[in-house]
């Protein structure tokens, strides 16, 4: 059975911002697919359904690494990999921390922010952990992610309102940053 599709209008500026964001972070999903997933998630949260019950991941200082985030360290010509599974960083089947992971790979203490690369879920490219941390610190510091419970009907509207405020703040920050970054000028050469 084929799915019937309908159109929902959003501003072209918001759509372009989403498309640019996906491209910048190597997310190959179609923007329409992301919008549909966001609306489905919003409905789950608004209804207090169990599917949106919990966001899993590892809190590394002020940086949240969602479940599925991959960590990589290159040392002496080889790469070592760890992954966020549930609420833990796992390396060689053992729970660890990013600092312990870096120290174990190198055999001595290292600044994990400097030596680790991260690939967040849905992203194609690896980024330095320090870069991601600094990028996060420049933006509005979001409140810790809440745990949603199916039976808590009072939490859903408040959580949704906070989520929307955070999303709008991030979109505005990205728009302001991107407009300055993507401004193009043409060189004007004098006529000879």
Phi, psi of 46 (to 5 degrees): -60, -35
Quick one: pLDDT at residue 8? Answer: 83
Count of C-beta atoms within a 10 Å radius of residue 86: 11
Q: What is the DSSP letter of 68?
A: T
**Cα R_g (the chain), whole angstroms:** 20
DSSP for 24-41 reads HTT--S-HHHHHHHHHHH
Model confidence, pTM: 0.51
Query: Quick one: pLDDT at residue 184?
Result: 43
pLDDT at 165: 61
Instruction: Give pLDDT, residue 171.
Output: 63
**What local confidence, expressed as pLDDT, does residue 121 receive?**
86
Task: Provide the strand spans (E) within 32-126.
Answer: 57-60, 63-66, 70-75, 78-85, 88-91, 94-96, 116-119
pLDDT for the residue numbered 167? 63
And the tokens for 172?
Answer: 């505005």
CB atoms within 10 A of CB 31: 19
pLDDT at residue number 126: 93
Q: Are 129 and 112 in contact (CB under 8 A)?
A: yes
Domain ranges of the chain: 10-53, 57-138
- Of all helices (H) and strands (E), which one includes residue 155? helix 155-181
Q: Which residues of the chain have pLDDT under 70?
A: 1-2, 25-27, 42, 44-54, 139-192
Torsion of CA 24, 27, 31, 32, to 10 degrees: 180
């Amino acid at each position: 059975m084929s799915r019937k599709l309908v159109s929902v209008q959003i501003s072209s500026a918001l759509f372009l911002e989403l498309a640019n964001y996906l491209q910048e972070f190597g997310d190959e999903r179609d923007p329409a697919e992301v919008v549909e997933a966001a609306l489905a998630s919003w409905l789950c949260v608004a209804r207090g359904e169990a599917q949106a019950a919990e966001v899993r991941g590892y809190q590394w200082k002020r940086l949240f690494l969602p479940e599925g985030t991959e960590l990589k360290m290159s040392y002496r010509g080889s790469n070592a990999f760890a992954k966020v599974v549930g609420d833990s960083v796992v390396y060689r089947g053992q729970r660890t921390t990013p600092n312990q992971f870096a120290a174990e790979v190198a055999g001595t203490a290292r600044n994990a922010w400097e030596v680790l690369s991260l690939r967040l879920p849905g992203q194609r490219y690896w980024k330095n952990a320090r870069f991601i941390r600094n990028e996060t610190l420049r933006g509005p510091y979001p409140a810790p992610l809440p745990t949603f419970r199916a039976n808590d009907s009072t939490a859903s509207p408040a959580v949704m309102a906070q989520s929307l405020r955070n999303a709008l703040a991030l979109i505005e920050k990205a728009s302001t940053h991107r407009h300055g970054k993507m401004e193009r000028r043409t060189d004007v050469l004098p006529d000879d």
